[in-house]
């Protein structure tokens, strides 16, 4: 069963095509990660699917609602946490929650139990009287999540919710998301963090408004073809510039202090890398075959698309 289905969904801003004929399916009860860099069309896609932004072409059904014809009905069935959530800093945690409960017209008699459960769920129960402006970044995101869940939505849209949040809070946030999955909530999650994409049931890689691939993280990585060589150098930045100038490799990714190099023939690749580094008098600290990462796949697919 599908909770979200789009066909050639398109959005333009003047001459810029932000979302380009997007065909996407999200199954009921899964967490789907829409993965890509800034300006790839993630936010625009989520805003259209929430009924906040009208599309310029194509169709989409979300929770059984046509996003063009039933936008108002749709808003009752979805929760949306944008990148910059509209908390009121001078209001307390509880006052903010009640404000959003009013917006969603949550019946007064249902609020006490529901709010108490959500506060416990997000670990914010001790902070009900604290002003929102005094919360940490991670706690603000959890409060935003409570506000998005206050009306018990079927589908939850999260637009890069862990961007700028500390690692511990990011981990706590994912624990909450997995608990939501157990309750049957479908989640569409946008992120530029490839490590977070690994946590999703399925992912879609998006670049310049186009969906490159949609599948499980393991299946996406299996589609790369070729072999990834991991190169370690003292000066990896300099090594990256040298390798970029050769143009003999399918893709190059700077991964921390290592360089990932996608090649068709690993022996030939090792030989070329060795020759170039000796010529430039750069010592190779390590050169091994590794499993491809999602970042390797993404960079490879983008390069193939540009060259096609």
Residues of the chain predicted below pLDDT 70: 308
Q: What is the pLDDT at residue 22?
A: 98
Do 73 and 125 lie in a common domain? yes
DSSP the chain: -EEEEEEEEEEEETTEEEEEEEEEEEETT-EEEEE--TTSSHHHHHHHHTTSS--SEEEEEETTEETTT-HHHHHTTEEEE-SS----TTSBHHHHHHHHHHHTT--HHHHHHHHHHHHHHHT-GGGTTSBGGGS-HHHHHHHHHHHHHTT--SEEEEESTTTT--HHHHHHHHHHHHHHHHTT-EEEEEES-HHHHTTSSEEEEEETTEEEEEE-HHHHHHTS-SEEEEEEESSHHHHHHHHHTT--SSEEEEETTEEEEEES-HHHHHHHHHHHHHHTT--EEEEEEEPPPHHHHHHHHHHHHHH-
Q: Which residues have C-beta within 8 Å of that of residue 42, sequence separation ≥ 6?
A: 34, 36, 159, 160, 190, 206
Q: What is the pLDDT at residue 240?
A: 94
Do 273 and 133 lie in a common domain? no
Q: What is the pLDDT at residue 86?
A: 80
Q: What is the CATH number of the domain that holds 121?
A: 3.40.50.300
Domain termination residue (choose one: 221, 241, 262): 221
177-234 per-position pLDDT tens digit: 999 999 899 999 999 988 899 999 999 999 999 999 999 999 999 988 899 999 999 9
Residue ranges making up the domain that contains 257: 226-291
Distance between CA atoms of residues 205 and 34, nearest Å: 6
Looking at the structure of the chain, the number of domains it has is 2
Are 201 and 186 in contact, with CB atoms under 8 Å apart?
A: no
Do 126 and 159 lie in a common domain? yes
Do 111 and 91 lie in a common domain? yes
Do 71 and 139 lie in a common domain? yes
Q: What is the pLDDT at residue 197?
A: 92
Do 46 and 114 lie in a common domain? yes
Do 235 and 197 lie in a common domain? no
- Residue 164 belongs to some domain of the structure: yes
Q: Which residues have C-beta within 8 Å of that of residue 138, sequence separation ≥ 6?
A: 165, 166, 168, 169, 170, 172, 173
Q: What is the pLDDT at residue 258?
A: 94
Do 42 and 179 lie in a common domain? yes
- Residue 64 belongs to some domain of the structure: yes
- Residue 276 belongs to some domain of the structure: yes
Do 204 and 60 lie in a common domain? yes
Do 18 and 150 lie in a common domain? yes
Do 139 and 254 lie in a common domain? no
Q: Is 307 exposed, middle or buried, given 0-12, 13-18 or 19+ CB atoms closer than 10 A?
A: exposed
Q: What is the CATH number of the domain that holds 247?
A: 3.30.70.980
Are 22 and 191 in contact, with CB atoms under 8 Å apart?
A: no
Q: What is the pLDDT at residue 84?
A: 80
280-301 per-position pLDDT tens digit: 999 999 999 999 999 999 999 9
Q: What is the pLDDT at residue 216?
A: 97
pTM of the predicted model as reported, rounded to 2 decimal places: 0.90
Do 206 and 234 lie in a common domain? no
Q: What is the pLDDT at residue 308?
A: 67
Token pair 């049931």 is found at 201
């Amino acid at each position: 069963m599908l909770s979200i289905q789009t066909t050639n969904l398109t959005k333009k801003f003047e001459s810029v095509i932000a979302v380009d004929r997007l065909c996407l399916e999200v199954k009921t009860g899964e967490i789907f990660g829409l993965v890509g860099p800034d300006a790839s069309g993630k936010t625009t896609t989520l805003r259209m699917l929430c009924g906040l932004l009208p599309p310029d072409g194509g169709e989409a059904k979300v929770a059984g609602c046509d996003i063009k014809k039933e936008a108002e009905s749709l808003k009752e069935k979805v929760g949306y946490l944008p990148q910059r959530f509209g908390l009121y800093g001078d209001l307390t945690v509880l006052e903010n929650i009640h404000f959003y409960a009013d917006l969603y017209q949550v019946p007064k008699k249902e609020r006490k139990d529901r709010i108490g459960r959500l506060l416990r769920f997000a670990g914010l129960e001790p902070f009900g009287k604290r002003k929102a402006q005094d919360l940490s970044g991670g706690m603000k995101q959890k409060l935003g999540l409570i506000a998005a869940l206050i009306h018990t939505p079927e589908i939850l849209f999260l637009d890069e919710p862990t961007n700028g949040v500390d690692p511990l809070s990011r981990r706590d946030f994912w624990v909450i998301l997995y608990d939501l999955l157990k309750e049957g909530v479908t989640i569409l999650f946008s992120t530029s963090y490839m490590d977070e994409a690994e946590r999703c049931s399925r992912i879609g890689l998006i670049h310049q408004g186009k969906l490159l691939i949609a599948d499980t993280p393991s299946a996406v990585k299996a589609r790369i073809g070729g072999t990834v060589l991991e190169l370690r150098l003292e000066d990896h930045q300099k090594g990256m510039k040298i390798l970029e100038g050769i143009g003999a490799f399918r893709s190059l990714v700077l991964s921390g202090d290592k360089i990932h190099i996608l090649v068709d023939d690993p022996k030939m690749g090792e030989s070329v890398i060795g020759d170039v580094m000796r010529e430039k008098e750069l010592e190779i600290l390590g050169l091994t075959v590794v499993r491809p990462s999602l970042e390797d796949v993404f960079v490879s697919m983008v390069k193939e698309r540009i060259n096609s």
